[in-house]
């Protein structure tokens, strides 16, 4: 449908006012909020995600597109809640204790939202007890941890141990990332997945969710 292409196109351009206008226009044409979300807004963020992965666009453009997607999402939210549209899965995400770097984590959170996940963002400097609390409280499918300092990476390991001690490790998939983090570190600390960038984090989260359900 042409209106979906138009919404996606404006998300890619990061044009919030057009996204708002077109989202309202689509609703006035009796198109469901779910279709507008999946085909328009998420469709647009999918293109953004690919372009980011291929180095065709960079962080500022991703942030502007995500902001415009959120403008549309805010309009649809009450309708989606009413229609009980089921999110893909629930992700609790945060930057680990002692670490204040949150730019990369925020991009990962935005792309996950854009891909249809419900994201509970705990912010930065998140202690292991808080990850545990929210995994329990929210019955999360996935817990995502970000670290930018070599000195804070150990908090990822400690958080996984905390989940194990609470008997919850098998209920949740763990994905980690951040500049100093590597795939081999993920294996070493018994995480389920590692992603080097935000778009790969979305792909990995979808894979982990699939593994969890099967």
Residue closest to 14 by CA, chosen among 74, 60, 83 = 60
Is residue 175 involved in binding ligand B1M (CB under 6 A)?
Answer: yes
Among 37, 201, 202, 209, binds ligand B1M (CB under 6 A): 201
Q: How far is CA 90 from the centre of its chain?
A: 9
* Single residue of 17, 150, 188, 210 touching ligand B1M by CB under 6 A: 150
Three-class DSSP category at 50: helix
Q: Would you say 8 or 208 has its CB closer to ligand B1M? A: 208
Quote the least distance from Cβ 43 to ligand B1M, whole Å: 21
Which range, of 16-24, 76-84, 162-170, 196-204, touches ligand B1M by CB under 6 A?
196-204
36 interacts with ligand B1M by CB under 6 A? no
CA-to-CA distance for 118 and 41, rounded, in angstroms?
15
Q: Using the rule CB under 6 A, which residue among 137, 180, 183, 187 binds ligand B1M?
A: 180
Please identify which residue in 18, 71, 146, 155 interacts with ligand B1M, judged by CB under 6 A: 146
Which of these segments, 11-19, 28-36, 97-105, 161-169, binds ligand B1M (CB under 6 A)?
97-105
Choose between 42 and 109: whose C-beta lies nearer to ligand B1M: 109
Buried b / exposed e across 7-38, counting CB within 10 Å, b at 16+?
bbbbbbbbbbebbbbbbeebeeeebebeebbe
DSSP 160-197: HHHHHHTT-GGGSEEEEESTT--HHHHHHTT-SEE-SS
With binding defined as CB under 6 A, does residue 90 bind ligand B1M?
A: no
Residue with tokens 């098998």: 170
Closest distance to ligand B1M from the beta carbon of 42 (Å): 19
Nearest to 136 by CA among 174, 97, 95, 172: 172
The residue ranges that bind ligand B1M (CB under 6 A) are: 59, 93, 98-105, 107-108, 144-146, 148-151, 175-180, 195, 197-198, 201
């Amino acid at each position: 449908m042409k209106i979906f292409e138009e919404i996606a196109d404006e998300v890619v351009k990061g044009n919030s006012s057009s996204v708002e206008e077109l989202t309202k226009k689509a609703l006035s044409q009796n198109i469901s909020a779910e279709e507008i979300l999946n085909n328009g807004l998420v469709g647009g963020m999918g293109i953004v995600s690919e372009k980011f992965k291929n180095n065709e666009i960079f962080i500022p453009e991703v942030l502007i597109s995500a902001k415009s997607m959120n403008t549309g999402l805010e309009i649809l939210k009450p309708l989606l809640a009413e229609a009980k549209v089921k999110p893909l899965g629930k992700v609790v995400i945060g930057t680990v204790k002692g670490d204040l770097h949150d730019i990369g984590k925020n991009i990962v959170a935005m792309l996950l939202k854009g891909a249809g996940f419900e994201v509970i963002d705990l912010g930065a400097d998140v202690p292991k007890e808080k990850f545990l609390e929210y995994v329990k409280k929210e019955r999360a499918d996935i817990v995502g941890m970000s670290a930018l300092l070599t000195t804070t990476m150990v908090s990822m390991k400690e958080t996984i141990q905390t989940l194990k001690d609470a008997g919850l490790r098998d209920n949740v998939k763990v994905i980690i990332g951040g500049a100093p983090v590597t795939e081999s570190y993920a294996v070493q600390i018994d995480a389920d997945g590692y992603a080097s960038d935000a778009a790969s984090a979305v792909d990995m989260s979808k894979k982990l969710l699939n593994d969890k359900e099967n």
